[in-house]
């Protein structure tokens, strides 16, 4: 920890500490043109393998992320943003290249469902224990979670009675129980209401200020403007542009308007 604090203080002067290094990364999905065959077709095909065409979701991407920065990934639907984020988390197999990290990234997906028939309280325990916290740590910080998520009395109700916004609020609160060194957010704030979004943005800024790295995928460009220093624009699995938020988002917006 001492090392992290030190680098936080010297972040302005010293060379920033690299936390995530993506090197020549490619991700290929295999797509089966004819996923369901009938028995005769299977017999006719024999032992030959199914004809698969592959889709290159990410093509030779190189990216560096340093401690204390928040980076927004933007791009149209199907540009490979979520795939890239999941691959950095190690949840999506790569086909080529490397993702180097300093610690296990904590990934939070869009409107995470958690355990539907279990109460909000118990979900905090299940999620917190799964990501490696102790029962005592969770008990200590439960009040904080209740306050931050703003769920109050709903915490005793099972999750299948929650709206998708409430679930997202709870999942975000759990994922940030222990400040992760590398936090990956895939539209995690998209369904939350305005009040929660503001609190989350404050939380993201706090996490970043503590010399951690945040990478977030969002279609809400304001969210990225409010939280990120840098933005990466992906198009068809390739980096179209990377740079300061203002520059990249302006260009991206102009491009989006034209298409």
Partner 1 sequence: MWDVHVPPGNVAYFRSVLERRDYMVYAASNELRSRQMNSVLGNLWHLLNPMLQIAVYFVIFGVVLGVDRGEDYFVFLSIGIFVFGFTQRSTTSGANSINNNKGLLNAFSFPRALLPVTSTLTEALATVSPVMVMYVVALVSGVTPTWTWLLALPLMGIQLLFNFGWALVAARATSSVRDISQLLPFIFRLLLYGSGVLFDVQRYTEGRSYGWIFDFNPVYCIVTLVRWCIIGGEFRSDLLAIFLGWTVLVGLFGLVWFRAGEGTYGRD
**Contacting positions for partner 1 (CB under 8 A):** 18, 21, 88-94, 98-102, 104-109, 112-118, 122, 125-127, 129-132, 134-135, 171, 174-175
Nearer Cβ to partner 1, position 176 or 252? 176
CB 30 within 8 A of CB 96: no
Strand partners, 183: 106, 214
Rounded Cα distance between 141 and 257, Å, is 45
Rounded to a whole number of angstroms, the minimum distance from the CB of residue 106 to partner 1 is 6
Rounded to a whole number of angstroms, the minimum distance from the CB of residue 5 to partner 1 is 20
Q: Which two tokens stand for residue 28?
A: 């290929």
Nearer Cβ to partner 1, position 74 or 159? 159
Nearer Cβ to partner 1, position 174 or 204? 174
Which is it for strands 18-32 and 52-66: parallel, antiparallel or unpaired?
Answer: antiparallel
Nearer Cβ to partner 1, position 120 or 233? 120
Rounded to a whole number of angstroms, the minimum distance from the CB of residue 98 to partner 1 is 5
Count the Cβ atoms, other than its own, within 10 Å of residue 33: 8
Rounded to a whole number of angstroms, the minimum distance from the CB of residue 251 to partner 1 is 30
Rounded to a whole number of angstroms, the minimum distance from the CB of residue 121 to partner 1 is 11
Hunting for tokens 């709903």 — which residue is that?
A: 154
Angle between helices 120-130 and 164-175 (to 10 degrees): 40
> Is 128 in a helix, a strand, or coil?
helix
Strand partners, 31: 53
Nearer Cβ to partner 1, position 85 or 249? 85
């Amino acid at each position: 920890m001492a090392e992290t604090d030190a680098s936080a203080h010297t972040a302005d002067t010293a060379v920033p500490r690299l936390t995530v290094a993506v090197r020549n990364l490619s991700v290929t999905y295999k797509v089966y043109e004819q996923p369901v065959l009938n028995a005769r077709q299977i017999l006719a095909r024999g032992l030959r393998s199914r004809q698969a065409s592959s889709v290159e979701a990410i093509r030779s991407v190189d990216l560096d992320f340093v401690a204390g920065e928040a980076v927004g990934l933007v791009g149209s639907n199907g540009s490979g943003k979520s795939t890239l984020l999941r691959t950095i988390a190690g949840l999506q197999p790569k086909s080529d290249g490397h993702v180097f990290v300093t610690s296990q990234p904590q990934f939070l997906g869009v409107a995470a469902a958690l355990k539907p028939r279990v109460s909000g309280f118990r979900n905090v325990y299940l999620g917190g224990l799964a990501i490696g916290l102790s029962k005592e740590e969770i008990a200590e910080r439960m009040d904080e979670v209740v306050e931050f998520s703003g769920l109050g009395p709903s915490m005793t109700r099972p999750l299948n009675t929650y709206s998708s916004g409430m679930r997202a609020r709870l999942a975000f609160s759990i994922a940030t129980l222990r400040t992760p060194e590398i936090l990956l957010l895939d539209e995690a704030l998209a369904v939350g209401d305005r009040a929660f979004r503001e609190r989350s943005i404050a939380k993201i800024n706090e996490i970043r200020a503590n010399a951690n790295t945040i990478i977030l995928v969002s279609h809400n460009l304001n969210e990225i403007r409010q939280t990120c220093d840098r933005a990466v624009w992906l198009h068809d699995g390739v980096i179209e542009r990377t740079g300061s938020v203002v520059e990249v988002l302006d260009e991206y917006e102009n491009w989006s308007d034209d298409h």
